[in-house]
Amino acid sequence: MFRRSVLVAALAAFATLPAAAQAPSGKLVLYTSQPQADAQATIDAFRKVHPGVEVSFTRDGTTQLMNRLQAEFVAGNPQPDVLLIADAMTMESLKAENRLFAYTQAKTDGLPAGSFDAGKTYFGTKLITTGIVYNKSASMKPTGWADLAKAEARGQVVMPSPLFSGAAAIHMGAVVRQPELGWKWYETLKANGAQAARGNPAVLEAVAGGQKLYGVIVDFMAINANKKGSPVEFVFPRDGSTFVTEPVAILRTAKNQAAARAFVDFVLSPDGQTLAASQGMLPVSNEVKAPEGFPVLSNVKLMPIPIAEILRSDEADKERFADLFGK
């Protein structure tokens, strides 16, 4: 009788364990703006830790993903459990719409202040700066943003459009608020023959292929290409780099909350951060070493990123950019 009572008590205790304490399983749907290979590597590494979870993912630019997600919200059937996208501005917008789940148990030890939402609705997973890429054949070696407006760069500059890239939208929002740059910088670039591309990969392709000599691009793409032998160099501008944190978040409508929490835990863990470094990106955790080719973060000048202010004027800024460079 005693042994039966113990067994019943044990089974009852097990049944009341929170879902997070049990091994996650089932299907997890991820929407991500990571490059295709990085997204697959992240999923593969996650599944080694949680083999019971089947992950399906949709990869596209942040703006396109959000357009798709907004249409799903309108239809009353949002598909993703987890978002892993380029910028905090998009997450702030979703947070304001009460679309994000507050994962208060997420472990944020070792993460720098400001890299995650104080309400724990989203968490930065890495630091991705935007700077200048140039082809090694270029006669001028740029060191700051103003160099892209020089005569030597006439007709030779390409940049990602903020209409298609979340990182580019943050970059635009920060740059136009810098007194020494502002909209005048964009207007000067346009007058100098600069062009906008759909995203960062198109910028790298153009500069690496010699169709353009200079570009505005996220750091890891150019640095990783350089390490693979591409004829490009990356510059952290002396007047400041803009940056995004590629945050991860769980939707309030997630169908598999347990697997979603496990995914967030993984990308913030030492293993997840080491994976980010191995992919050639600056880990957000100060406990993981930066990858080869990156300077010590304290040697990189970062521009102020007033996310709330940028978000408020985002649509107007994009319209002004489109008037200059086209849609």
Would strands 232-235 and 242-244 be described as parallel, antiparallel, or unpaired?
A: unpaired
**CATH number for the domain running over 128-243+300-325:** 3.40.190.10
97: which 2 tokens?
Answer: 């719409």
Q: What is the pLDDT of residue 8?
A: 44
Quick one: tokens of 229?
A: 């032998």
Separation of alpha carbons 37 and 57, rounded Å: 12
Which of the residues in the chain have pLDDT under 50? 1-20
Q: At what angle do helices 314-325 and 166-175 cross, to 10 degrees?
A: 90
Burial class (CB in 10 A: 0-12, 13-18, 19+), 271: middle
pLDDT at 17: 43
Counting beta carbons within 10 angstroms of the beta carbon of residue 152, is it exposed (0 to 12), middle (13 to 18) or buried (19 or more)?
A: middle
DSSP, collapsed to helix, strand or coil, labels residue 182 as: helix
Are the C-beta atoms of residues 198 and 61 closer than 8 Å to each other? yes
Q: What is the dihedral sign for C-alpha 163, 166, 167, 171?
A: positive
Axis-axis angle for helices 257-268, 36-49 (nearest 10): 110
Q: What local confidence, expressed as pLDDT, does residue 115 receive?
A: 83
Q: What is the pLDDT of residue 15?
A: 44
pLDDT at position 21, please? Answer: 55
Residue 279: what pLDDT?
86
User: What is the residue extent of each domain of the chain?
Assistant: 18-125+245-294, 128-243+300-325
* Residue-wise pLDDT tens digits, 187-240: 999 999 999 999 999 999 999 999 999 999 999 999 999 999 999 999 999 999
CATH classification of 18-125+245-294 is 3.40.190.10, yes or no?
yes
